[in-house]
Amino acid sequence: MCQDAIRPAGPNVRALVEYDGSGFLGFQKQPSGRTVQGELEKALRGLTGRPVRVIGAGRTDAGVHATGQVVNFRPGPELPLERLASALDRALPADIAVRSVERADDTFHARYDAKWRTYEYTIRNAPVRRALEWRFVWHVPQLLDVSEMRLAAGALIGTHHFGAFGTPERGRSAVREMLRAEVLADGEIVLIRLTANAFLRHMARGIVGALVEVGLRRTAPDGLARALDSDADHPLFPMAPPQGLCLVEVEY
C-alpha cells in the first residue's frame, strides 16, 4: 500500500540526504511545522508541478541530524535523472543537501528494505563548553568514566526488548536487534556509535542518556542489562538531548 502511493509514471529514485536537524520538527511530515520530508516534497513539487511523496529510511526526531539519510521517491518523467540532484539541491533550503541521486529498483523502499541503521552521538566531555558546537554536541562538564560506559554498552548487543530506552508505535513490538554499541574516546570527545535493525522513537537518545548516567557513576554498569530484562514499556533513564545525535549510515 505504501509503495502503491508513490507509483506514478517514472523511475523509482534513491537519494542520499544530509541535514542539520536544528530547525526541524523531525524528518516525518507533521500537520504544522517545518520537517525534512516536508521540505523535500515541497522542492520536488516545485520542480515537477505535482505532489511527490518522499519515503525516508529513518524518522529522525526534532533536532536530530543526518549525514546518511536515505530516501526514495518517484519524480516522474519531467526531470531527467542526470539533472535531478543539482536541480533538487538548488531548490532546497541551506540546511538540507542532496549528496547523491541514483535510479533504484522499482520495488526499492527506503524504510522497509533497510537492514541496519547507524547513529552516532557526540559528547564534549570537558569543563568548558565550545560556543560553535552547541547545535551538534552535548556538553557534559563532569568527567565521564568511559571504561564503565563501554562495559555497560556490551549488554545492548543482541535481540532485546528495548522499551526501557524508547517508545514503540502503538500496538507494535519493542524488540529490536542491536549489532553494535561502541563508546569511543578521543581527547575531550566521547562518541557513542549504535547500529540496530531499527530504533524505537527516542531509543538512541535513551541509550545515550543511560550510558552517561553510568559514566557519571549514577547508575551501575549492569543497570542497562537489568533495564533490558525488566520488559519496561517506557524510558527508565534521563534522555540525552537531540543535538548530539546524527544518522550516519543506512545499510541495505
Burial class, 111, CB count within 10 angstroms (exposed 0-12 / middle 13-18 / buried 19+): middle
Neighbouring C-beta atoms of residue 229, cutoff 10 Å: 12
Cell (9 digits) for 33: 511545522
Distance CA 72, CA 54 (A): 6
61 an active-site residue? yes
Closest among 171, 165, 169 to 226, alpha carbons compared: 165
Q: Choose, from 20, 61, 89, 233, the residue flagged as catalytic.
A: 61
User: Catalytic site residues?
Assistant: 61
